[in-house]
Amino acid sequence: AVRAWRADARRHPSPNAGPVEASFAGALGVRLGGTLAYGGRVEHRPVLNGTGRPVQVADIGRAVRLSRRVGMLALGVTVAGRLITRGRGR
């Protein structure tokens, strides 16, 4: 995930989505991007994690589980940070 993030995050047209999509591609071991269709339009985007394998249907469930874990980790870090700063009287 870190390797794909460092190599590919800035290649994505969105500065917000690029780091997340590149990291997920690396963590899941898949290749994302290339020629895509959005709302009837064809877009050509850079490939993220080019050494990864093509996406398969089973990867959807893996991506959902990874997303939930990342969300729970973010929640935990946020709550811990809040408790630490509250304990310091802030």
Model confidence pLDDT, tens digit, residues 45-75: 899 999 999 999 999 999 999 999 999 999 9
Is the distance from CB of 31 to CB of 7 less than 8 angstroms? Answer: no
Average pLDDT over all residues of the chain: 91
Q: What is the pTM of this model?
A: 0.78
Residue 88: its pLDDT value, please? 77
- Cβ atoms within 10 Å, residue 13: 9
User: Could you state, in order of their start, the residue ranges of all structural domains in the chain?
Assistant: 1-55, 56-90
CB atoms under 10 Å from CB of 53, counted, come to 11
* pLDDT for position 12: 84
pLDDT in tens, 4-58: 999 999 888 888 888 999 999 999 999 999 898 888 899 888 999 999 999 999 9
* pLDDT of the residue at 82: 93
Distance CA(73)–CA(60), nearest Å, equals: 20
DSSP 49: S
Rounded CA separation 66/25 (Å): 11
